[in-house]
């Protein structure tokens, strides 16, 4: 697998991975799968400040994706991010998610972030195992926080220290592709 920054051209493959997750599972709390155009806009918006990565296989097909986003809006939260990872059905359990997260975490450290959070719709033992395998630890559960497929759903929250907290942290930097465009 090769890990690289996502582009607008990846949106169709990302949509194909994400669509059945939205339609057939409670992993995502979205009810309607985003269109390719919506995903292109999400990728562009994310890349303005955070990394969005894709894993591509030997055939250059997108096998999975991972991205970060803001944790909360207040300026005191600027050093923390929320993370997400999704993997194509036929390559789940083969380490793609782990590779994506390892690359994402390295980029987040390089950009100056200190803590990552992941919300996992429960039950989802595969996602829990993936997150814990890359260093996330369980924090707690938001009980009955989302309603999908006729039932209330819980979301567990996990946290990972990306690097030890600094006493006087500099504001996080922009991703390299934004610095190069700026």
pLDDT of residue 177: 56
Nearest to 139 by CA among 123, 120, 152, 124: 120
Tokens of 48: 């303005």
pLDDT of residue 134: 98
List, for residues 67-118, the tens digit of each pLDDT value: 999 999 999 999 999 999 999 999 999 999 999 999 999 999 999 999 999 9
List, for residues 43-81, the tens digit of each pLDDT value: 999 999 999 999 999 999 999 999 999 999 999 999 999
* Dist CA 157 CA 115 (whole Å): 13
> Global pTM?
0.94
Nearest to 139 by CA among 116, 162, 123: 116
Q: How many other CB atoms sit within 10 Å of the CB of residue 156?
A: 20
* Dist CA 159 CA 136 (whole Å): 5
Percent of the chain with pLDDT over 70: 96
> For residue 72, what is the DSSP state?
-
User: Which residues lie across from 87 on neighbouring strands?
Assistant: 64
Is the pLDDT at 179 greater than 60, yes or no?
Answer: no
Tokens of 23: 């339609």
- Residues 6 or more apart in contact with residue 127 via CB below 8 angstroms: 27, 120
pLDDT band for position 175 (cuts 50, 70, 90):
confident
List, for residues 63-72, the tens digit of each pLDDT value: 999 999 999 9
pLDDT of residue 176: 61
pLDDT band for position 182 (cuts 50, 70, 90):
very low
State CA 50 to chain mean position distance.
10
Please state the φ and ψ torsions of residue 164, each to the nearest 5 degrees.
Answer: -60, 140
- The CATH architecture assigned to 2-166 reads 3-Layer(aba) Sandwich (3.40)
Q: Among all chains, which residue has been given the structure tokens 């390559």? A: 91
Nearest to 87 by CA among 58, 130, 118, 46: 130
């Amino acid at each position: 697998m090769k890990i690289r920054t996502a582009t607008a051209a990846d949106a169709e493959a990302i949509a194909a991975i994400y669509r059945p997750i939205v339609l057939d599972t409670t992993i995502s709390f979205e009810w309607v799968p985003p269109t390719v155009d919506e995903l292109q806009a999400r990728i562009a918006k994310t890349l303005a400040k955070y990394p969005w990565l894709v894993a591509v296989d030997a055939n250059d097909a997108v096998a999975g994706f991972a991205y970060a986003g803001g944790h909360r809006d207040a300026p005191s939260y600027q050093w923390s991010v929320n993370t997400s990872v999704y993997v194509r059905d036929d390559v789940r359990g083969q380490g793609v998610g782990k590779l994506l997260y390892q690359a994402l975490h390295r980029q987040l450290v390089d950009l100056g972030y200190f803590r990552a959070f992941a919300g996992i719709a429960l039950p989802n033992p595969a996602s829990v195992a993936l997150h814990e395998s890359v260093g996330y630890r369980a924090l707690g559960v938001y009980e009955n926080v989302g309603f999908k497929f006729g039932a209330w759903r819980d979301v567990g929250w996990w946290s990972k220290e990306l690097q030890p907290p600094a006493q006087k942290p500099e504001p996080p930097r922009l991703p390299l592709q934004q610095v190069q465009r700026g």
